[in-house]
Amino acid sequence: MKMKKSILTILIGFLFISPASIFAQIEATTKDGKNVILNLDGTWKYIETETNDTVAESESNDDCSNYIETWIDKVSGTSSISAKDKIFITEDGGKYGFGIYLIGARKSIIASIQAVGSGNCIDDDAKINILFRDGSRIELINNGDFNCEAKATLYFGGVFGRKSELNDLSTKEIETMRVWTYDGYVQMDFTPKQSKELLNTLRCLSES
């Protein structure tokens, strides 16, 4: 009789165990050091697969070979470093926005900005206003000559100075940029991807 009572008690106790406890998962480590989750139905899955993939992708995206390249002038034998690609921040099929190209030269960086959509002429003292995602701002002055090719030019580092501005641009993501033209200004918001690409390209050029 006591035996039957004990069995009945165990069964009742089992019925009141939460489903989460019944279907509990067990964490384990394989011989090669990978963490897995073991299910009671015999299935299993890696715990860190997605995280590791994300980390690997992040590390790959920060690799400078993705952003800059070195090329050699075969006639003079001199080498130069530049962005692998022009960075476009545009809308309306490229009728409005920016095209940014970066070059490294003698421990300096030259940024050529094509500002399209608000007249073609840019003064030699035209302003470039930048708002970062952290809320900070900087204002830069065009280093190029007056032109009607919609082009502003900025110089950083070396004899040109602007080291603090370069540090900001290579460590902070841009949210919005405005380039003043003779007829008004061109202003665009950067996507996170565009911000990161510009930041990493400037970082890699400044470190090279």
Domain-terminating residue out of 35, 59, 83: 59
pLDDT tens for residues 107-130? 789 999 999 999 999 999 999 999
| Spatial separation of the C-alpha atoms in residues 191 and 174, rounded to whole Å | 9
Nearest partner of 125 among 89, 179, 186, judged by Cα: 179
Q: Round to whole Å and give the CA distance between 61 and 182.
A: 38
Residues making up the chain, counted from first to last:
208
Contact call for residues 152 and 142 (beta carbons, < 8 A): yes
Q: Give the separation between CA 113 and CA 142, rounded to whole angstroms.
A: 10
Pair (38, 128) in one structural domain: no
Residue 79 is predicted with a pLDDT of 80
* pLDDT above 50 (res 30): yes
Query: Which residues are within 8 A (CB) of 134 and not within 5 positions of it... i.e. 6 or more apart?
Result: 172
For residue 149, tell me if it sits in a domain: yes
The span from the CA of 131 to the CA of 173, in Å, is: 9
The total number of structural domains that make up the chain:
2
pLDDT above 80 (res 53)? no
Indicate whether 75 and 155 sit together in one domain.
yes
**Hey, is 11 helix, strand or coil?**
helix
Let me know whether 54 and 75 are in one domain. no
Asked if residue 170 and residue 80 are part of one domain, the reply reads yes
Do 39 and 133 reside in the same domain of the chain?
Answer: no
Q: Which long-range contacts (CB under 8 A, 24 or more apart) does 9-17 make?
A: none
Q: What percent of the chain has pLDDT over 90?
A: 55
Average pLDDT over every residue of 3-15:
46
Scan for tokens 């470039």, then name that residue.
128
Per-residue confidence band for 40, with pLDDT thresholds at 50, 70 and 90: low
pLDDT recorded at residue 31: 57
Is residue 24 situated within a structural domain?
Answer: yes
Tell me: do 48 and 116 sit in the same domain.
no
In a domain, 21, yes or no: yes
Whether pLDDT at 183 is above 90? yes
How do strand 174-181 and strand 68-72 relate by DSSP bridges? Answer: unpaired
Same domain, 99 and 185: yes
pTM exceeds 0.75:
no
Q: What is the pLDDT of residues 70-107, one digit of tens each?
A: 888 778 878 889 999 999 999 887 889 999 999 987 77
Q: Are residues 111 and 42 in the same domain?
A: no
**Same-domain check for residues 91 and 171:** yes
pLDDT bracket for residue 36 (50, 70, 90) = low
92 and 141 part of one domain? yes
Sheet order of strands, 127-132 included:
137-141, 127-132, 174-181, 184-189
> Is 200 within a domain?
yes
Distances (CA, A) of 105 to 26, 198, 204: 57, 17, 13
Range of the domain at 103: 69-207
For residues 103 and 151, state if they share a domain.
Answer: yes
59, 81, 102: which is the final residue of a domain? 59
Q: Is residue 64 part of a domain?
A: no
Q: Comparing 25 with 137, which gets the higher pLDDT? A: 137
Q: What does the block give as tokens for 117?
A: 């959509």
